[in-house]
């Protein structure tokens, strides 16, 4: 355990606020600096009604912080993907076996405010309107801009939870190269909204994540507790129609929806206005070779490993980081050892979920209404029943269990090969060569210790 139990957190978003709770609970003296104002006073300044998917990894972290019950009061359960094909009837594809295996749609702003209040109640000192400007790693002082003033803060160690554009990461890189690489996705997004109906209720099935898959582009909609849906249109920036380069105006967006999302069009009455008012967002994967500077600073969450949002694991992964760092700080003899152990544990898992998030985009936009894919999902569930604890669906490993992401990726590769081979040339489960499939499962997969 570190001798000097004081730590300074940069960033008061979700990960920073959660880590403040976890450390304050363990007796650490915590100062948290956030460049924006206090959202509980000034309103949430993180953008539009952005909502997130909370899964078991994130829930586990919230349980450690004693925040799970309060957060779930604000959440909307999502049982699965409600797929809206261009041709044919829409329908629900469950994430898990029953309502014990679901995810939760939550408001980023409401969650952030809940965690900040809890952090403050545990004794963390919150400094809003303090943007990090420079760090002197020799003198161990950090300089912040507070309105028109410069504030100097002495620190023992810094933790960067300040997002993909991390100011602390930039300061660390001046001292030692971090091997930073950003891979930009050639697709972007725009946010729209489905308002409540005339009775103030949801316009479509509330307990699902809605997807309109269209090959190289798609729409999704997540429910909010105020009976709205946050709609996100994902498309290429450039290239073949449709792309954001070609669909620029509200009228052009309306024409696109009329052609490719006809059942969604009546649900979004302000489509034209919102399309023109809201900017095109960018998507990227941030990779670093190094997350820490000895015992002086460490990065976590998006500041260390930002990812595309298509597996809904960015927040869940960041929350896992917080628990892992808090535990490392308790069990190791020094800050330097704790930061090194934290990076060694989390970096391979962050890299694994970054890869799975990229792959899941292709699945969501291009496969969820494909007959071969659907047969493989049927077989996946059947094998889960035939070999419980040995064949565990990919989505369950990532979303409903807390096995390391790297292990989930490794097992998923093995399972995908089994599913692909078993379904080649077949159109129904009744056509399966069950003895051969069962033998392959027993040969390739060991029982899962975490199941």
Ranges of beta strands (E only) in 317-420 are: none
Q: Kindly state whether residue 256 falls inside one of the protein's structural domains.
A: no
Domain with residue 115: its CATH number is 3.50.50.60
Q: What is the DSSP letter of 115?
A: H
Q: Are residues 293 and 438 in the same domain?
A: no
Where is the domain boundary, 359, 391, 412?
359
Question: How many domains in the chain?
Answer: 2
pLDDT tens-digit readout, 195-208 = 999 999 999 999 99
pLDDT tens-digit readout, 249-304 = 999 999 999 999 999 999 999 999 999 999 999 999 999 999 999 899 999 999 99
Q: Are residues 344 and 387 in the same domain?
A: no
Where is the domain boundary, 332, 359, 386?
359
How far apart, in whole angstroms, are the C-alpha atoms of residue 220 and residue 230? 8
CB 41 within 8 A of CB 129: no
Burial group, residue 428, by CB count within 10 angstroms (0-12, 13-18, 19+): exposed
127 or 48: which leads in pLDDT:
127
Which range (185-189, 263-267, 372-376, 422-426) has the least confidence? 372-376
Q: Kindly state whether residue 303 falls inside one of the protein's structural domains.
A: yes
Q: Are residues 23 and 131 in the same domain?
A: yes
Report the pLDDT averaged over residues 200-222: 95
Name the packing angle between helices 371-386 and 405-423 (round to 10°): 110
Name residue, tokens 């392959």: 440
- Residue 49, pLDDT > 50, answer no
Q: Kindly state whether residue 273 falls inside one of the protein's structural domains.
A: no
Q: Are residues 292 and 342 in the same domain?
A: yes
The per-residue pLDDT for 3 is 46
Q: Are residues 337 and 398 in the same domain?
A: no
The per-residue pLDDT for 376 is 92
Where is the domain boundary, 359, 393, 410?
359
Domain coverage including residue 153 = 6-49+108-181+284-359
Q: Are residues 16 and 123 in the same domain?
A: yes
Confidence category of residue 450, pLDDT binned at 50, 70, 90: low
Confidence category of residue 44, pLDDT binned at 50, 70, 90: low
Q: Which helix (H) or strand (E) segment is 132 a member of?
A: strand 131-136
292 DSSP β-pair partners: 298
Q: What is the pTM of this model?
A: 0.94
Report the pLDDT averaged over residues 402-426: 96
Give the mean pLDDT of the chain.
94
Q: Kindly state whether residue 310 falls inside one of the protein's structural domains.
A: yes
Q: Are residues 43 and 115 in the same domain?
A: yes
pLDDT tens-digit readout, 308-336 = 999 999 999 999 999 999 999 999 889 99
pLDDT tens-digit readout, 70-117 = 999 999 999 999 999 999 999 999 998 889 999 999 999 999 999 999
Which range (33-47, 107-121, 129-143, 434-448) has the least confidence? 33-47
Q: Kindly state whether residue 381 falls inside one of the protein's structural domains.
A: yes
Q: Kindly state whether residue 435 falls inside one of the protein's structural domains.
A: yes
Question: Which has the closest alpha carbon to 306: 357, 344, 268?
Answer: 357
Q: Are residues 375 and 423 in the same domain?
A: yes
Q: Kindly state whether residue 76 falls inside one of the protein's structural domains.
A: no
Q: Are residues 355 and 288 in the same domain?
A: yes
Q: Are residues 324 and 402 in the same domain?
A: no
Q: Are residues 437 and 289 in the same domain?
A: no
- Residue 2, pLDDT > 60, answer no
Q: Are residues 384 and 431 in the same domain?
A: yes
């Amino acid at each position: 355990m570190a001798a000097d139990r004081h730590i300074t957190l940069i960033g008061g978003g979700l990960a920073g606020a959660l880590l403040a709770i976890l450390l304050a609970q363990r007796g650490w003296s915590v100062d948290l600096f956030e460049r924006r104002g206090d959202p509980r006073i000034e309103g949430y300044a993180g953008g539009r009604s952005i909502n997130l998917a909370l899964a078991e990894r994130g829930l586990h972290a919230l349980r450690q912080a004693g925040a799970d019950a309060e957060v779930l009061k604000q959440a909307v359960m999502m049982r699965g993907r409600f797929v809206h094909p261009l041709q044919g009837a829409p329908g629900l594809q469950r994430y898990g076996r029953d309502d014990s295996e679901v995810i939760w749609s939550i408001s980023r702003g409401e969650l952030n405010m809940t965690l900040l209040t809890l952090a403050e109640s545990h004794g963390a000192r919150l400094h809003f309107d303090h943007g990090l400007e420079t760090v002197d790693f020799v003198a161990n002082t950090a300089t912040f801009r507070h309105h028109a003033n410069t504030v100097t803060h002495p620190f023992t160690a810094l933790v960067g939870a300040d997002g993909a554009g991390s100011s602390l990461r930039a300061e660390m890189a001046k001292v030692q190269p971090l091997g930073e690489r950003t891979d930009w996705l050639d697709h972007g997004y725009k946010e729209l909204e489905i308002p409540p109906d005339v009775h103030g209720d949801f316009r479509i099935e509330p307990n699902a994540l809605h997807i309109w898959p269209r090959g190289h582009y798609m729409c999704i909609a997540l429910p909010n507790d105020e009976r709205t849906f946050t709609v996100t249109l994902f498309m290429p920036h450039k290239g073949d129609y449709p792309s954001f380069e070609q669909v620029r105006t509200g009228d052009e967006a309306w024409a696109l929806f009329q052609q490719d999302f006809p059942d969604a069009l009546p649900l979004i009455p302000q489509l034209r206005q919102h399309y023109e008012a809201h900017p095109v967002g960018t998507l990227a994967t941030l990779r670093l070779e190094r997350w820490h500077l000895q015992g002086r600073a460490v990065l976590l969450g998006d500041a260390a490993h930002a990812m595309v949002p298509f597996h809904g694991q960015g927040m869940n992964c960041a929350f896992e980081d917080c628990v892992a760092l808090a535990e490392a700080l308790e069990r190791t003899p020094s800050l330097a050892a704790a930061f090194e152990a934290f990076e060694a544990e989390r970096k391979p898992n962050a890299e694994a979920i970054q890869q799975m998030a990229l792959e899941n985009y292709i699945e969501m936009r291009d496969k969820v209404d494909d007959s071969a894919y659907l047969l493989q999902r049927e077989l996946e569930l059947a094998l889960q029943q035939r070999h419980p604890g040995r064949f565990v669906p990919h989505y369950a490993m990532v979303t409903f269990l807390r096995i390391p992401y790297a292990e989930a990726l490794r097992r998923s590769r093995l399972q995908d090969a089994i599913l692909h081979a078993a379904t080649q040339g077949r159109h129904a489960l009744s056509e399966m060569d069950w003895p051969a499939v069962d033998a392959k499962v027993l040969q390739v997969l060991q029982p899962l210790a975490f199941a």
